[in-house]
């Protein structure tokens, strides 16, 4: 299988398709990161018998779960939940605008 090498033009093309645009320095940083990732994968290829190992579907041992029993409790009323908000509008909470 032919090894695909990322080029500066490819990185710029992908960045433009994602509408993020990159400076020349950012493009070089991405290429350097791809190069490091490629080196890491080459290290995996050197591990003998790796192709015989079944992939894990979960990284933790999930044979025992320690879940608490559900206990039904009374919920806060809407008025109580909004009482300390200071900026409630009917049933909605007003929050500061984060995006212009």
- pLDDT band per the 50, 70, 90 thresholds, residue 2: low
Q: Distance between CA atoms of 9 and 4, rounded to whole angstroms?
A: 14
The string of pLDDT tens digits covering residues 15-31 is: 999 999 899 999 999 99
The string of pLDDT tens digits covering residues 34-79 is: 999 999 988 988 999 988 988 888 777 666 677 888 899 999 888 8
Interaxial angle between packed helices 24-45 and 8-17, expressed in degrees from 0 to 180 and rounded to the nearest 10 = 110
């Amino acid at each position: 299988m032919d090894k695909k090498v990322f080029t500066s033009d490819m990185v710029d093309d992908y960045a433009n398709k994602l509408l993020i645009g990159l400076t020349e320095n950012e493009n070089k940083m991405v290429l350097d990161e791809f190069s490091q990732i490629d080196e890491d994968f080459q290290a995996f290829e050197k591990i003998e018998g790796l192709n015989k190992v079944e992939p894990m579907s979960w990284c933790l041992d999930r044979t025992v779960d320690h879940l608490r029993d559900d206990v039904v409790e009374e919920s806060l009323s809407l008025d109580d939940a909004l009482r300390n908000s200071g900026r409630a509008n009917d049933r909605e909470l007003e929050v500061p605008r984060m995006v212009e």
